[in-house]
Structure 1
Amino acid sequence: MGTGLVTAVSSNGVYSFTKPTRESITLLEGLGVEGDVHAGVTVKHRSRVAQDPTQPNLRQVHLIHRELFDELAEQGFEVSAGQLGENVTTEGVDLLGLPTGAVLRFGEEAVVEVTGLRNPCLQIDAFQQGLLKQVVGRDASGRLLRKAGIMGVVRHGGTIRPGDAISVTLPPEPHVPLERV
């Protein structure tokens, strides 16, 4: 289905909205990003832990397409890699158009299975006032659009660096559109 490129990688060992960029990150199979606060078998996002700390962590890796930053810049917002809390910033892959179960291979080793859409929260407006309505909207038919990236789980560990190629493998038909996870 084509290829893309990793433009930045980010992680943070403490709860914070933004994540500093790194020279590389290491994905751990079934866990997420090594040393990242959201890594684990069970859910780590605080709002989800409050609901049910035993639910599986379908949000081990957060990916955002760099093209979103260009779109936001046109609306007067300055956003760069890691500032929306993503672990991997991509280019050339229609992340939001992927179906559930799509598989992303980064470089030679790391493999992430797409689980769903990131559900943007009010912290985005605390980061930059008015940004939330830029990453959440409605299409012409009134359907809710979430544009703040996608989430996935690590199926095979490995190191990811800026410049790594991304290849996409789609699951068998019928494809299931991404939903909030």
Structure 2
Amino acid sequence: MSTIAAFYGGKSILITGATGFMGKVLMEKLFRTSPDLKVIYILVRPKADQTPQQRVFQILNSKLFEKVKEVCPDVHEKIRAISADLNQSDFAISKEDTQELLSCTNIVFHCAATVCFDDHLRHAVQLNVAATQQLLLMASQMPKLEAFIHISTAYSNCNLKHIDEVIYPCPVEPKKIIDSME
């Protein structure tokens, strides 16, 4: 067993943006390489024509998850879809689900974002800035949390000719951006 698989063994992981490209690939990689992980919680926005569970079923039955089913045949039992909407300030998560996430989560992968670059500014700020801030506040209440990984949107430093792997100072305080949207 690799050290990575050993690290994820028995862990409870929360993934936002799991129905998007990066989230699906991340979920597949985690299940395929770490079949002993305990559970992956995914926040799924309900859609008019599909429940969160139906959306997960569709994802797990895609070609991407064929190898996962060989390595981890009980993958359906290790994924827990939680109805949530990061466009709402409280994420519209039930109290029971919130309590479970707070008490059980070991690792958070925050992949949710809008990558629609002509999106309304209010929507983009809510999803890309305010939801991230709110998720960080939620994570601060997770006693078993070991890691919080934020996967940022593409082109986040598009004004630079060369982008290094460093944390760049924010030209505007996120709170000012959020306040201006409110």
Per the normalisation by structure 1, the TM-score is 0.23
Instruction: Please state which structure has a larger fraction of its residues in helix.
Output: 2
Larger strand percent: 1
| Highest RCO, 1 vs 2 (Cα 8 Å, sep ≥ 6) | 1
